[in-house]
Amino acid sequence: MKKQTKRIYLLIALALALVFGSVSLASASVLTASVNANRTSNTAATVAAHASFNRTADSCTCKMTLQEKYKGSWRTATGVPVKTASRTKTKTSSILFSYKFTLVKGKVYRVKTTFTDKKGSSTASSTYYSGTF
């Protein structure tokens, strides 16, 4: 019975070490996020994205990709000078990024925003979309 008890304690200790050891290396996760777009003219829009994480990440990136509606589906925008804009911050628990996109008159757009955070060797991503404009 003593050997069996020692094995059980050893397995419990190993399980706890694995569980709590991996938590300290896990990526931060997005607690709240928002993506707001405002078409300021026929050929321009300002997009602001914000995310808060559940703890301080080593680095986090906000990547905005301008998408256009084409034949009922969404694709990366064409005919515009900038399709993707991004910002990276280090040692932070939140990120705020605003960008002014140039548009083509008469097209319908939205912005796909991906927040990527790194903590140690772990990386996590969350994707959000603005409303159409």
Q: pLDDT per residue over 60-96, tens digit each? A: 999 999 999 999 999 999 999 999 999 999 999 999 9
Predicted TM-score (pTM) of this structure: 0.78
Least Cα distance to 40 among 112, 114, 98, 113 occurs for: 98
> How far apart, in whole angstroms, are the C-alpha atoms of residue 54 and residue 92?
10
Average pLDDT, the chain: 87
Q: Which residues contact 131 (CB under 8 A, 6 or more apart)?
A: 37, 110
Confidence of residue 7 (pLDDT cuts 50, 70, 90): low
> How far apart, in whole angstroms, are the C-alpha atoms of residue 77 and residue 90?
29
pLDDT at 67: 98
> How far apart, in whole angstroms, are the C-alpha atoms of residue 36 and residue 97?
11
3-state secondary structure of 35: strand
> How far apart, in whole angstroms, are the C-alpha atoms of residue 9 and residue 37?
55
